[in-house]
Structure formats: C-alpha cells, structure tokens
Structure 1
Amino acid sequence: MSTEPPTLLRCAGRTVARYTTRPDLAPDHAPRPYLHPVTTLAGRVVTEALPDDHPHHLGAGIAVADVAGRNFWGGRTFVRDRGSVELDDHGVQRHDGFKLCDPDGFVEELSWTAGGERLLREHRTVAATALTDSAWALDLTFSLTNTAGRDLSLGSPATNGRPGAAYGGFFWRAPKEATTPTVFGPGGGGGASGPAAAGERGSGADGEAAVHGFAADWVALAGEGWTLVFAGATAQTRSDPWFVRAAEYPGVGSSLAHAGRLAVPAGETFVRRVVTVVADGGLDRSGAAALVRKAVAS
C-alpha cells in the first residue's frame, strides 16, 4: 500500500511503529502519511488501518474533515441539510521530505493540496521515548501554515450540522476487539458537566459518554492487554475537546473545530502537540496520570 518502504520507529531496542509516507490509496481515502502498525514494547498491535467499518481510518496521524470545504479525512462528506454524501472533494497530504530521520524519530515537511492548490504547509515532528520496561511514548507535534494566499477555516461534521461529530486533527484508530475497550479520564479534572466550551477542562469520569466532547488533560483507552493514554502537551492542545469512540469502534482524536470553525488567516500558523503513552497491560487512573507526567516532561 505504499510507493516506498515504510520508515521504522524504534524504542528500547525494538521497532514500535512503521510510518508510511506515500500510501497508494484511492482519492476517496484522502491519502496521507500514517503510523501503522504501532505496537507496545511486548509487541501488541494498538493501531488499525483500512478497517472494514471505516476504510479511510489510517492508524495514527493527522486528518481533518473540512479544510475550506475540502475533505482531508476520507470517506463521505457531511453536508448540512443533506447528510453524509459521496463527493469528489478529497485532498491529499503529500510527503515532501524529511528534514531529519533518526531511529527514534523524524521531522517531516508536508503539503496539504486539493484541486491542484496547496492550502496548507505542515511541519510534523514525531519521537519515541521509553518510559518504563512496559511503556513508551509517541510524541507528535504538527504545525499547519495557511499557504493559500487567502483566509481559510477548518470545520468538522459537527460545525456542518452533525451533533457529536467534531472530529478533526490528531486521530488514533485502535484495533476492534471482541470486548469494547474501557475509557476513562483524569479524576477531579474540573467538574465539567456538559460538552466543553473553549477553555473548559476535564470530566473526571469513566465511560465514552463522560469523556467524549470534553477538554481534559488526558484520556485513556484500554483494550485487551494494552492501554493508550492521550495527553495534550500544550495549553492550546488541552483546550481542544476530545473525540472518543469505544462502542461503535475504538478511536480517540482531537477536535480542532468543536463549537465553531477554526479560522486560519492567510500566512498564519497554528500548532498542536499530543503525547500518547503506549503501555502493555491495564493502567488505573493513578498509573495513567503518572506516565502522562513523565511522558510530557521528557
């Protein structure tokens, strides 16, 4: 599925991820670089790519459903008053090259293009860091610059009329297993009792409904023999509500456009950093919080 061999990411003496830079995919998949498979240190695979339920889900990476009306997520496009429809509106994230590529990480330059026009330039940094003998961290920072020569904005199905579907930004598709994964957030995280507005943080409860649509320092997804803990590593990243799915399919991402579209004026840049703890076994709330503190500080 790639026009060149994947880039390997290593941590603690083993390969923990493969990064496909130029996937050979149909346009309606919104072709883009992605990490898959990503594994725990013991070798458990914790990503999924091209699953039957959502063939445009590609492991771990960056995807946005609406960039100035162009679909960089893949699949159908949600259109207000029409619903999800198949449109010829997909963009491509083109890998332009690595500025640095080491065994434990890389710095990459990308172009987001659609209809022959480059809308955004991306600078992406990915690094792997060992935390314990059973956990490591994937540190991903992306900065997007408006290169279109005019003001742009980013949207989501939610901003286009589909409630609860504010996905767009960082996204991690986990493997679907026989048992629905457990979801939980930080305890005592601020007592938010409804969908997050800008600046609200934390729900501090268990379950998909308790963390989806809230802004919190971190969110955990625990499956059969593995736990993923997703943490916002900057104040701006922590202000983005989390998009969480568990029952329908296992996936966690950020919501760049939650209550409204994200404006990106001509020439301006915005930056987000998400650090993901990848752990063998099950973590409780205190264990997840401890690893997040270590991961974000490293």
Structure 2
Amino acid sequence: MTPLTPSNPLTPATPLTPSLTRRPPCTLLRHGHRVVGTYVHRPELPGTVAPRPYLHPVRTLGGVTVTGLRPAEDPAHLGVSMAIPEAAGWNQRHLSWLLRDPDGFVEELSWTAGGRQLLLERRTVAVRSLGTECWAMDFTSALTNVTGEEIALGGAGHAGGGFFWRVPRRPEPAHVFSADGEGEAAVYGRPADWLALATDDWTLVFVGATGDTRADPWWVRTGDHPGVGSALTWQRPLPIAPADTVTRRIVTAIADTRLSHPAAARLAAQLSDRGAAV
C-alpha cells in the first residue's frame, strides 16, 4: 500500500521536558481496565513517512502486540491508519474531538494538498467486548468532499488506499483465509465479506461492516511485508462529487488464540451489519 505523501513535513511541538520528546499526544483505548490500544493523533514524524494519526500498539487481551510501527523495510507503515495514494501530496491532520471516552472516540480530521482543504473526515473508533479472550476494534471513516468540485482519490495503477493494518513480522508467516478462499493468492485483490490472519499467538478477523466496504478488494501480505488493507482505491481513481461522503467501516476481532475457519466465520457474523448472513 502506498501511503499519502504530505505536502509539508510536520513540525514537532517544542517539548516541555526531555521526557516528552519521544511521546507525542495520544489517547488510550481500554477494554475494562486493560489498555488495548494507543491512538497517536498528532504524530511527531518526518515528512518522508507521510505523518498521519495511527493506532500502535494494539494488543490482545492477553497483552500480545498485533501491530507494527515503522519497520526498516517499510518506514511509512504506521500501525493501524488510513492512507490514500496521491502523487500531488496530501496531508492528514487532527482537528478536534467530538467525543473521547476510555472505550472509543469520534474525531474530525482535515485532508489537504498545497494548503487547500480537500476532505473533511469524521473518524469513529470504538472498543467492543467479545468475551474473555477476544475484543473488537470498530473503525469507521467518513470522508466528505469540501472543495465544491469533483475530486478523485487515488490514481491509475495504485493498488491500495484506505484502511491498513501493519502486523509484526514473524519467523512463521500468519495463515490467511477469507469467507471465499484460503492462502494469499486466493484472497489478494478480491472482495470478501471478511478476512483473517491466524498465528499460534493471535488471530485477527477483519470484517467489512457495510455493503460498500465489502465490495472493496483486500490487500494482504503475510511474508516480508505483512499487513492487511481494505482497498478504497484499486487500479483506478475513486471520484467523489461535491459535498458527497464516502464511508467505510471495518470491524476487527482480536483474539488471543489461533481461530479455525468456522470460528472466524462465527465472529464475523457477529460483527457484520448482515449478521448471520456472513
């Protein structure tokens, strides 16, 4: 996945004390008394890695980290985030909180290029309980065109854009399967109601929770660059008319064990807006 490239590097704020220089502003997500995710809404990163808000670390209820941050081979991969391939240079910036609770938040963000605001995003992230060994992250992004003219997200030849989850590298790659296939070749670049990555330590089940989200192809890698994305753009631009809104919703179950295909399907049925039809 190619992340958006900001037009201007983000200038770090002046630290109040030396201990804060490596701790940008963040919001903690909790499941009961456990911290299961950290959301960095004003990252202090070089412009070369497309600074944008991201979630890292995200953990299972047992404390296992299931996100990766700026690996050497992909320094622009930032945990769980939203990105759009765009050669002109788009910058994503936190504007305000509409709601911020221990188990979730609603945020407004601005997407700009060349000093001009193109999109206003309303992002909702919520923690959902699924028992003692599993929880779910409910991630919704609503992008509104505020330019007064049609714009296009992505571009020809881009395979990606949208929601992306970088997972840590492992000696043994995760097993990938979906509602419709098994193995990376069988699921890459194809729509599916849900997709899972399973290891001996954890399983992630990514569920398209709206019809438009389910229609987007999945980007998935399990080897040297492991991660999963729900591709908002795929080989062609996505046009948005003036004042129109594009909404995508991914609900991700995060389990402390290796789940079988039937178990992942049952979780997906709980988390989809189509219920047992998944």
In 1, Cα distance between the equivalents of 2:221 and 2:154? 19
Alignment equivalent of 1:240, drawn from 216, 228, 251: 216
Which amino acid is 2:164 matched to? Answer: F
Residue 7, structure 1, aligned to residue 27, structure 2: yes
CA contact (8 A) 1:19 1:33 kept: yes
* Correspondence for 1:80: none
* Correspondence for 1:22: 42
Superposed displacement of residue 150, structure 1: 2.1
Which amino acid is 1:288 matched to? Answer: A
In 1, Cα distance between the equivalents of 2:204 and 2:142? 23
Superposed displacement of residue 4, structure 1: 4.1
Superposed displacement of residue 295, structure 1: 2.7
* Correspondence for 1:105: 104
CA contact (8 A) 1:6 1:20 kept: yes
Aligned length: 254
Q: For 1:291, what is the secondary structure of its paired residue?
A: helix
Q: For residues 19-58 of structure 1, what are the structure 2 equivalents within 5 Å?
A: 19-58=39-78
Residue 281, structure 1, aligned to residue 249, structure 2: no
Unaligned runs of 5+ in 1: 71-88, 187-203
- Per-residue CA deviation, residues 239-297 of structure 1 (Å, 9 max, x unaligned), is 00101111232100011122421101122111010000111110011100111222336
Unaligned runs of 5+ in 2: 1-20
* Correspondence for 1:170: 163
- Per-residue CA deviation, residues 140-159 of structure 1 (Å, 9 max, x unaligned), is 00000111232110125xx2
Alignment equivalent of 1:216, drawn from 164, 168, 192: 192
In 1, Cα distance between the equivalents of 2:112 and 2:235? 26
- State the Cα RMSD in Å: 1.6
Q: For 2:232, what is the secondary structure of its paired residue?
A: coil
Q: For residues 93-172 of structure 1, what are the structure 2 equivalents within 5 Å?
A: 93-156=92-155, 159-160=156-157, 166-172=159-165
Residue 92, structure 1, aligned to residue 91, structure 2: yes
* Correspondence for 1:250: 226
**TM-score for both structures, normalised by structure 1:** 0.82
Segment of structure 1 superposing worse, 30-39 or 223-232: 223-232
CA contact (8 A) 1:2 1:20 kept: no
